[in-house]
Structure 1
Amino acid sequence: MRKDALDYVYKLAQVDERVVFIGSDLGPGTLDAMKQEIPDRFFMEGVSEQHIIGMAAGLAMEGFIPFVNTIATFLTRRCYEQVALDLCLQNLPVRLIANGGGVVYAPLGPTHLAVEDMGILRTLPNMTIIAPCDADEMNRLMPQTIDWPHPIYIRLAKGNEAIVSKPEHGFEIGQAILLREPGEGLFITTGAMTQLGLQAAQKISEDSGMACGVLHIHTIKPLDRATLSQWLPKVQGVVTVEEHTRIGGLGSAVLEFCNDTMPEQAAKIRRIGIPDRFAEQYGSQNSLLAHWDITVDSLCAAMVQQLRQS
């Protein structure tokens, strides 16, 4: 997914002179072709994340469209003040491409786990937050970043995920995609967890015959309130799924929407996500998710419980 995103930055730079790339200590080989062909719009700034946000803001003020890439925790925790004041307060068209959303960097421990990144940035006015589910969807997203007038945070997953998105669904920032028609239940997912939701919906169908849909919300902010209004009243149980703390992310956004607009729907919603504590274990991404009970089986159990309570 990261390679697709960065390769697309190069494609955009070839046809739009406003596009610049700014990286932070990404290692040799990153976008070498762009570095050779368009060296005046390729910058590798070393371990200086706060600096690259200010640099991107300055370039955006001069009419450029900067694409900034580094590790998600460094773009959010380390650069929060710069993102808030330099980008969001000025409402500048800077695109933050964040490596390792969720627990991708599980072997490196809590310093590198971006498990509150969406919650941090969702509080900032003007910020757009997007988490594609696979590389194909990333390729449909990237062309739309050129004309979007606000800052964008693009949350990258591990990479090499199965392709579950479909070209016929298209892609529009702020427009959720129904990947599987709901019956009694509905999984609401984002990013790579959409793949888990699809697997759980299929397993429930095979095991019990119950029909569960999957609504992929790739854009956490702005939230697609119209699609939620359409589907929430039609199902008996809802399970939100995210590779993010249960505080402030997708599940919180859906519940906030219900509280504001349709409070009678809130009781049917259950949230699956990372508990409110720092990771106390090291391992693989999948081992940490299993430790926190974010698995296909736990999704199925949560949905069955919601439907039995309805």
Structure 2
Amino acid sequence: MRKLCLDMVYELAKEDPRICFIGSDLGFGTLNQFREEMPERFFMEGVNEANIIGMAAGLALEGKVVYVNTIATFITRRCFEQLVLDLGLHNVPVRLIGNGGGLVYAPLGSTHLAIDDIAILRTIPNMSIVAPADEAEMKRLMPLTVDYPGPLYIRLGKGNEPILTTDEVPFAIGQVIPMRQGSDALIITTGVTLQAALEGADELAQQGIAATVLHVPTVKPLPKEILLDYISTIPVVVTIEEHTLMGGLGSAIAELIAEANFSEGKRFKRIGLPDVFPDKYGSQADLMKRYGMTSQQVVAAVTGLRKKQLAFFK
């Protein structure tokens, strides 16, 4: 996913002289063609993310569209003040490309796990957040980022995720992608947990439970009206994300439901990382299984909520 994303930055830059790239301590071979063909718009800086964000903001204020790339934890935690004051406050077109959103860097431990990146950036006015599910969706997203207004965070997965999205539903920043249709339960997801959501919906279908699956690649600005249309008609809602339960997609949906004041109550559960630093090493898949970000947990959450719902009406 990262290679495709950066390759597309290069292709877009060949067509648009406004586009610049800034990397933070990336491998020397990263975007070699960009470096060789457009050296005046290519910058490879060291481990100084706060300075890089200021640099990107300055270029953007001079009319450039700037793409910044490094590990997701470094591009969100290390330079939070600059993200707020240089990007958010000035509302400039800087695109933050975060490598390894979620648990991708599991072998490196908690220092490299971007489990809070969405929560951090949701707090910044004018900041938008997108989390593609696969490389096909990334390819549809990138051309839309060039002229998108204001700062934008692009959350990258590990790469080589199964291709689950299609061109059947036109992709747009700020829209939801319906992947399954059903009236018994609603499963809402973003990024690479779309796979667990779809597998969970398939297992539920075998039990006679028809679930709608909504992929929400744009976590901010959240497509509230579309989501409310779906939530209003379905009694059971479950969210799943590769992120802490504090402040991510599930929190955004909970806020939406709480303020909607539906005449009928909703049964609701969030699936994600609990309020802990992951205490085991291993692979991304290992940690997702350990903390329940799986299709099995989706099934358990939906069936558990449905039992409570049915018991209430007896």
Coarse TM-score class (shorter-chain normalised): over 0.9
Gaps in structure 2 of 5+ consecutive residues:
310-314
Distance 1:188 1:262 in 2: 19
The answer to whether the 8 Å contact 1:104/1:113 transfers is yes
Q: Deviations over 1:116-149 (max 9, x none)?
A: 1100110110000100000010111111111111
Aligned amino acid, residue 21 of structure 1:
F
| Counterpart in the other structure of 1:251 | 250
- Asked if the contact 2:232/2:262 (under 8 Å) is kept, the reply is no
How far apart are the structure 2 equivalents of 1:245 and 1:129? Answer: 16
1:150 and 2:156 correspond = no
CA 1:175/1:262 → structure 2, altered by over 3 Å: closer, same or farther? farther
Residue pair 1:69, 1:98 contacting (<8 A) in 2 also = yes
Letter in 2 for 1:241: I
CA contact (8 A) 1:232 1:265 kept: no
Which position in structure 2 is the counterpart of 1:211?
Answer: 210
Mark the CA change 1:66 to 1:265 in structure 2 (over 3 Å): closer, same or farther: farther
Equivalent residue number for residue 67 of structure 2: 67
Counterpart in the other structure of 2:119: 119
Where in structure 2 are the equivalents of 1:75-224 lying within 5 Å? 75-206=75-206, 208-224=207-223
CA distance in 2, matches of 1:264, 1:238: 16
The whole-number CA distance in structure 2 between the counterparts of 1:180 and 1:29 is 41
- The AA in structure 2 aligned to 1:201 is A
TM-score, normalised by the number of residues in structure 2: 0.96
Match in the other structure for 2:270: 271
Pair 1:260-2:259 in alignment: yes
Paired residues of 1:258 and 1:266 also in contact (CA < 8 A): no
Per the TM alignment, residue 195 of structure 1 is displaced from its structure 2 partner at its CA by 1.2
Is the contact between residue 235 and residue 265 of structure 2 (CA under 8 Å) also seen in structure 1?
no
1:165-199 Cα distance to aligned partner (Å, 9 max, x none):
11121211111111111220111000000111011
Unaligned runs of 5+ in 1: none
1:200-249 CA-to-partner distances (Å, cap 9, x unmatched) read 1011112x021112100100000011111211122121110000010100
- C-alpha spacing 1:273/1:178, structure 2 compared with 1 (3 Å): same
The letter for the 2-side match of 1:189 is: T
Give the letter for the 1:156 counterpart: L
How far apart, in 2, do the equivalents of 1:242 and 1:98 lie? Answer: 16
Measured in 2, the distance between the counterparts of 1:265 and 1:169 equals: 30
- Percent identity between the two aligned chains: 53
- Judge which range, 262-271 or 286-295, deviates more: 262-271
Residue aligning to 1:235:
234
Higher mean Cα deviation, 189-198 or 254-263?
254-263
Cα drift, residue 262 of structure 1:
3.5
Aligned partner of residue 172 in structure 1, secondary structure: coil
Displacement, 1:263?
Answer: 4.8
* Matched position secondary structure for 1:169: coil
> 3-state DSSP class of the match of 1:136?
helix
- 2-structure distance, mates of 1:291, 1:136: 28
Whole-Å separation in 2 of the counterparts to 1:41 and 1:114: 28
Q: Is the 8 A contact 2:236 2:305 kept in 1?
A: yes
Alpha-carbon offset, residue 35 of structure 1? 1.1
Given that 1:94 and 1:150 are in contact with CA atoms closer than 8 Å, whether structure 2 keeps it comes out as yes
Alignment correspondent of 2:284: 285
CA contact (8 A) 1:71 1:98 kept: yes
Q: 2:209 aligns to what SS in structure 1?
A: coil
The DSSP-based 3-state class of the residue aligned with 2:163 is coil
Distance 1:264 1:123, change over 3 A: farther
Runs of 4+ in 1 over 3 A off after TM superposition: 262-267
Partners of 2:265 and 2:90 in 1: how far apart? 35
Shift of 1:266: 6.5
Matched, 1:39 2:44: no
Q: Which SS does the other structure have where 1:279 is aligned?
A: coil
Q: Which deviates the most, 68-77 or 38-47? A: 38-47
- Give the Cα–Cα distance (whole angstroms) in 2 for the partners of residues 210 and 244 of structure 1: 27
Q: Which residue of 1 aligns with 2:225?
A: 226
Question: Distance between the aligned counterparts of 2:62 and 2:102, measured in 1?
Answer: 33
| Equivalent residues of 1:189, 1:241 under 8 A apart | yes
